[in-house]
Structure 1
Amino acid sequence: MTEPSSPPGAKDTPRAHGLGPRAAAALVFGSSAAVLVVEIVALRLLAPYLGLTLETSTMVIGIALAAIAFGSWLGGLVADRIQPRRLLGPALGVSGAAVALTPAALRASAEWAPALLLLIASLTILVPGALLSAVTPIVTKLRLTTLAETGTVVGRLSGVGTVGAIVGTVLTGFVLISRWPVSGILIGLGALLLGGSALVEWRTRGWTGAPALALVVVAGGLATTVVPGSCDTETRYHCVQVTADPGREGGRTLVLDGVRHSYVDIDDPTFLEFTYVRALASVVDAAFPEGEPLTAHHLGGGGLTFPRYLAATRPGTRSVVSEIDGGVVRVDRERLGLRPGSGIEVRTEDGRLGLRRLEAGSRDVVVGDAFGGVSVPWPLTTAEAMADVRRVLTEDGLYVANLIDHGELAFARAKVATLSETFEHVSLIGEPADIGVRPGGVAEGGNLLVLASQRPVDLPAAQAALDARQTGWKITTGAALTSWVGDARRLTDDYAPVDQLLRPSR
């Protein structure tokens, strides 16, 4: 027995229910894909202000899922009370306008009203996500004519929507972000949604709201050119800016997602601006004979400050760099003076995978300086990763890692605890006030270096080098370091809550 939703005798045709099967599939496919595009791009937009962390990703995913749930519920509810054909055009058009305004709204609020950033970010995901998710129940209502076909129609459109979401995810991650700025992606998507809205309305009843929403899309595009927070280059992983140092002709600062990542003097690679790089150079110079060429591997490249320093001070040094972001490598070559024949080989690869490809005992030095915002990528922090570092080092090899931590320094303590189970000799280097190792001292946090090796390093010579470069940093080792680490739990591939340990830093 069936329950007709159209007059008796009406045939199951597009005219009867208002939407043909191909048009229905296209609408569901496109709207579902658009929701995932917005979600992924929102992560990129928020990274310069909230960091590319587990918490940021979790928040964006949670908001997107809430938008999908709310939109699906609301779309079905409204479709039962209002003629569904009247809802499709406005849902697409308004969501298109909201998507196009997202880059300008997020960046403006981050710069001018940071207290509102989370609210604005939530709305820029919720509003278009809910409107686009409402399309599927609306289209389903239009396609249903009898209860006998309910399973077929709902199942088919649900499958089409899932495929659309998959395509939107893959297309964004592998194609769009690598070729266009995130602001361009969202403005283009907004224009496509508005075009779909106009087409739907033209096929049904004609809608005078389309020109007004078109102006909103145009306004969103224009606004992205004047609001702060724009990038020189947008890569797959970062918003990149290069700023010149007015006090030094060759000085350049590489800024990734709003964080000063590297300082490079393209005329003098021995000039080291950042304190942690001077400390890094001091430790390595003290551990190996002066001028001796080294074979080094660098986890994380950025501006390649330290590989350039080694090439200049130790002729014949061979440095291999694992840098996951090919866009940053292009910036190194085009704007930061990296030239062929410098003894620096940059591989666009994940650092952990790069370690696995290295031969055992092939490196004198491994330098850990990879960051996503202020967080070291967790796969590079674990005991298993450190075992790989130990494998590729020579017996006299040295591992030096740059860390950033604040508050109780929970991550730094866990990192030292992890290294202590892999290497015979471990030391911590930093500003005493940052580490908080003085009696009754309270850690302030900041940049720290952790040094690990199988052979003892001449720490007095390292300390003399640190003092000569006026770093103000001190070395902590032995019983004092053991007491400082306390009961910190080591990090493993099975347990590495790096973002949670770093929470006080944010």
Structure 2
Amino acid sequence: MSAFPSDVADPPAPPAPVPGPGRALPNGLAAFLVFFSSGAVLVLETVALRLVGPYVGVTLQVTSSVIGIALAAIAYGAWTGGWLADRRDPRPLLAPALVLAGIATAVTLPVVRYAGEVLRGDAASAILLLVALAVFVPAALLAAVTPLVVKLQLADLRRTGQVVGRLSGIGTLGGITATLLTGFVLVAALPSTVILLALAVSLGVAGLGLGWYLHRRAATDLPGAGRARAALAVLGLVGAGLTTVAPNPCDVETAYHCAKVEADPGRPSGRTLLLNSAQHSYVDLADPRHLEYAYTKWFGAVADVTAPAGRRLDALHLGGGGFTMPRYLTATRPGTDNLVFEIDGGLIELGERELGVRQGTDLRAVAGDARLLVAAEATDSRDLVVGDAFGHLVVPWHLATREMAAEIRRVTRPAGVYVQNVIDYPPLRFIRSELATVGAEFRHVALIAPPEAIAGEQGSNFVIVASDAPLPLDAVRERLAEVDSRATLIADAELDDFVDDALVLTDDYAPVDQLLATA
């Protein structure tokens, strides 16, 4: 008996055809594409930190965001590139990926600079969004190149491990090379704008050259390729045009900072130094005795009573910035020896060019990390040590530890004084920890700040005063009353109550950025 047609099982459908990988690229070209695209991602990641710094600072959170978002872009780009490679011939996709990455890199500059003015601040949402605008699209496009190339080279399944391993290693070497080249050479030699535009042009040229080469090998053109090239050219021109009109927050880009010097409209000889768009220093070119910011007045008050008026001092400054305090000490105490450790040689040059800094017998500026340079200083060699080193608004963690305080105490003479500028916000966890840290090394410690800040009602500058000799507290209070009636000095039991059981920071554990978090 025959069965009805509906009772007969349909034969299985043939599997959908999977596009083959096409002809493999020459090994040298494949290696170059993977090396170049992987390296370009790391150049972009390194420069992105400097690009967003003027708007959201250069903190641990910003650095973590750049690394995390770059890794996310690499993951999604590689995933997408592999997905496309299994569904289409990878050869027509390689050149557009490079050209689009170049265009996205060029457009990054105006996008970040326009968006940065809107997103300026240290909120986590602003940091993540601005970093994503700077990194994600070009990094994802570049990450897609490697799986496309790998698919083309997998002509022999018996050599899959060798091909994947070799190209993966080449990509890693490209990233390492680009990181070292950017950090040690490019950033020191070129502004971020030039680095990004050069990278964008390099990607565009590489993409166009690769497209021409593959077109020659194929001896035919793909449908719509002419329109695609025209669209890419238009996008490139638009990106270049936006870059030329985007606002630039820097007058000078040093190896560490986006720096700008602004004239004070209310004081013709006044100049404000801005680093990463934050006010950093103020100097009066005509009157080095003028101290504009409150914390510099507190520094000056302590210096004024450290030794008899007019007596020269041997002073060490950790951080130069606008060189406000070295100029003040030279003017108020002729013959003072000011040794300044400034990590950013570009700021030293900017100070000499625009802020009235004159090096000589009374002022010497050394470019380098203060932690390393202090270790080389002679014991008991300084009457006054001024700590005013910042990365954006944060004291670098390695300058805030007990080990650093011990080095400063070693350099300071027994009757000498250490003053340190700290910025903190409620609930004031960092200033309490830094006081505990300094107090673990120096016998006598005091704190200067506005009473509202000490009460935990507002953020502020705080100045720590420390010495192995008893501090002249009454004399400092009298001088503070003359220069800044809002300043309060606390010490002894009142300071102990303020510090409470705060963490002493060490080289092994110094969560400075987390202590500064306002949450």
Q: TM-score, normalising length from structure 1?
A: 0.93
1:158-197 paired onto structure 2 within 5 Å: 158-197=168-207
**What is the distance in 2 between the residues matched to 1:449 and 1:113?**
30
3-state DSSP of counterpart to 1:403: strand
The answer as to whether partners of 1:89 and 1:197 remain within 8 angstroms in 2 is yes
**1:55 match:** 61
Q: How many angstroms does 1:154 deviate by?
A: 1.0
**1:429 paired to 2:443:** no
Per the alignment, residue 138 of structure 2 pairs with 128
Question: Relative to structure 2, which stretch is displaced further, 216-225 or 442-451?
Answer: 216-225
Task: Select the residue among 264, 285, 289 that pairs with 1:266.
Answer: 285
Separation in 2, partners of 1:156, 1:97 = 29
Q: Does the 8 Å CA contact 1:278/1:469 hold for their aligned counterparts?
A: yes
* Alignment match of 1:201 (pick from 207, 211, 224): 211
**Structure 1 partner of 2:4:** none
What per-residue deviation string (whole Å, max 9, x for no partner) do you get for residues 132-175 of structure 1?
11111111111111111112211111111011001110111111
Match of 1:90 among 90, 96, 103: 96
Shift of 1:113: 5.3
Residue 220 of structure 1 and its aligned partner are, at CA, apart by: 3.0
Q: Structure 1 residue 214: deviation in Å?
A: 3.8
Q: Which moved more, 1:492-501 or 1:90-99?
A: 90-99
Q: Alignment partner for residue 455 of structure 1, among 469, 473, 482?
A: 469
User: Residue 66 of structure 1 aligns with which residue?
Assistant: 72
Residues 171 and 362 of structure 1, relative CA distance in 2, 3 Å threshold = same
Alignment of 1:348-363 (within 5 A): 348-363=367-382
1:397 alignment partner in structure 2:
416
Q: C-alpha offsets along residues 349-386 of structure 1, whole Å, 9 cap, x if unaligned?
A: 00100110101011111110000111000000000000
The residue correspondences of 1:71-470 to structure 2 (distance < 5 A) are 71-112=77-118, 118-205=128-215, 207-208=225-226, 209-341=228-360, 343-436=362-455, 442-470=456-484
Between the aligned partners of 1:33 and 1:138, the Cα distance in structure 2 is: 16
Q: Secondary structure at the match of 1:427?
A: strand
Q: Structure 1 CA distance, aligned partners of 2:424 and 2:52?
A: 21
Matching residue's letter, 2:179:
T
The CA deviation at 1:68 is 1.2
Deviations 1:22-69 (A, max 9, x none): 111110010000000111111111111221111111111011111111
Structure 1: distance between partners of 2:155 and 2:308: 83
Q: Cα–Cα, structure 1 residues 211 and 240, in superposed 2: closer, same or farther, change >3 Å?
A: farther
Q: For 2:405 and 2:56, how far apart are their aligned partners in 1?
A: 28
Please tell me the residue identity of whatever aligns with 2:280: H
Per-residue deviation, residues 226-279 of structure 1 (Å, max 9, x unmatched): 323431011111000000112222211100001110001112111111111011
User: Which amino acid is the alignment partner of residue 82 of structure 2?
Assistant: G
Deviation at 1:211, TM superposition (A): 4.4
Task: State how far apart, in whole Å, the 2-side matches of 1:366 and 1:290 are.
Answer: 18
Give the corresponding residue for 1:499.
513
Aligned equivalent of 2:495 = 481
Q: Map Cα deviations across residues 301-354 of structure 1 (whole Å, 9 max, x no partner).
A: 000000010111111111111100111111011111212326111110001001
Deviation at 1:120, TM superposition (A): 4.5
Percent identity (aligned): 47
Tell me the CA shift for residue 471 of structure 1: 4.5
Change (3 A) 1:321 1:221: farther
Determine the C-alpha separation between the residues in 1 that align with 2:472 and 2:414.
15
Distance 1:476 1:281 in 2: 17
Is this contact kept in 1: 2:111–2:133, CA < 8 A? no
Aligned residue in 2 for 1:10? none
State the one-letter code of the partner of 2:365. Answer: V
More off after superposition, 301-310 vs 199-208: 199-208
Give yes or no for contact 1:187–1:217 (8 Å, CA) kept in 2. no
Aligned pair in 2 of structure 1 residues 420, 116: CA closer, same or farther (>3 Å)?
A: closer
Residues 366-410 of structure 1 show CA distances to partners (whole Å, capped at 9, x for unaligned) of 110000111000000000000000000111110000010001110
State the Cα distance separating 1:284 from its structure 2 match.
Answer: 1.4
* Partner of residue 12, structure 1: none
Say if 1:109 and 1:117, in contact at 8 Å, map to a contact too: no
Match of 2:52 among 40, 46, 66: 46
Residue 12 of structure 2 is matched in structure 1 by: none
Kindly report the root-mean-square deviation, in angstroms, between the aligned alpha carbons of the 2 structures.
Answer: 1.8
| Equivalent residue letter for 1:299 | L
Q: Deviations over 1:61-100 (max 9, x none)?
A: 0111111111122211110111010110111111111111
The answer to whether the 8 Å contact 1:187/1:220 transfers is: no
- Alignment partners' CA distance in 2, 1:277 and 1:116: 31
- Letter of the aligned partner of 1:465 in structure 2? R
CA distance in 1, matches of 2:243, 2:514: 33
- Contact conserved, 1:270 with 1:313, CA < 8 A, in 2? yes
* Cα distance in structure 2, aligned partners of 1:116 and 1:463: 41
TM-score, normalization: structure 2? 0.91
Q: Distance in 2 between matches of 1:399 and 1:194?
A: 54
2:470 is matched by which residue type in structure 1? P
Secondary structure of 1:74's aligned partner = helix
5+ residue gaps, structure 2, are: 1-17, 216-220
